[in-house]
Amino acid sequence: MTNFGTGTCKVTEIQIVPYDINQNPNIKAENKWSPYNYQNIVNNFDQIKETIVVMVKKDEGFPVPEIMLDTHITRSWFSALDCLAVGLYDPSVLMASISVESVLNHDIRLEKLRQMQRYERIDLNWKNLASAFYEGLPVRMLMNSDEKFEKHGIEFIERRNKVAHGDIEGYSNMYPLTFQKSVFQNDTFQVGHSRPSKEHAIDQINKTKNFIVEWAKSSPMLRLH
């Protein structure tokens, strides 16, 4: 891959190139480099040990899985797993985050906050997460132990924002390459990330799962439409 470095460049042309999906080697699952290779998928799930089922019930009727509704809480979470399976870590981070956003937009406790928004939708940002915390939602499950409700202060949200807005440069700045001496004088090299890694996707997925589990335990009321 050519590295142009800093500065500017100019678009010189656009080419329309014929494409035949049958000639794409990446779709052949027998190839070890294919994202659809069985062992690659299994390896991507080596840290996923649990899934979730949220049951809901209207005033009249019987309990049904929330995934059958249009609230997209657990459906988005399972989409994050699907993306993880084939090594699509960027959308995996995003879809896990959408699960949390769906909770914020359907929990009745945040209905007044939702209606106050310009588009009547609660965005996933630190201020809205703080509001959800004060309404009793277990948003601490999404945060690292040393994080606070402040701008750029929550990794879960920053990952989501960088991916959603295509800010790969900003994502890279969150995880720079570092080389330092430890207290034992051993050289330590920490690999940075220019985009979400498998570990980032799994962390986002697990934080979301833990949040949903604790949230569901409180038997919250949901807005369906």
Kindly list the distances between the CA atom of residue 110 and the CA atoms of 2, 74, 213, 220, in Å, as whole numbers in the listed order.
48, 19, 18, 11
Q: What is the mean pLDDT of the chain?
A: 91
Q: Which residue in 50, 93, 103 sits closest to 72, CA to CA?
A: 103
**Residue 47, pLDDT above cutoff 60:** yes
Q: Taking 90 as the threshold, does the pLDDT of residue 3 lie above it?
A: no
Task: Give 193-215 pLDDT, tens digit per residue.
Answer: 888 999 999 999 999 999 999 99
Tell me how far the alpha carbon of residue 129 is from its chain's centroid.
15
Look at residues 87, 98, 150 and name the one whose alpha carbon lies nearest to residue 123.
98
Helix intervals (H) in 175-221: 198-217
Q: How many CB atoms lie within 10 A of CB 89?
A: 23
Question: What's the pLDDT tens digit per position in 142-190?
Answer: 999 999 999 999 999 999 999 999 999 999 999 987 665 555 455 555 5
pTM above threshold 0.85: yes
- Judged by DSSP in three states, 189 sits in strand
The pLDDT, as a whole number, for residue 28 is: 92
Q: Exposed e or buried b for every residue in 160-189, given b needs 16+ CB within 10 A? A: bbbbeeeeeeebeeebeeeeeeeeeeeeee
Backbone CA torsion sign across 225, 103, 80, 174:
positive
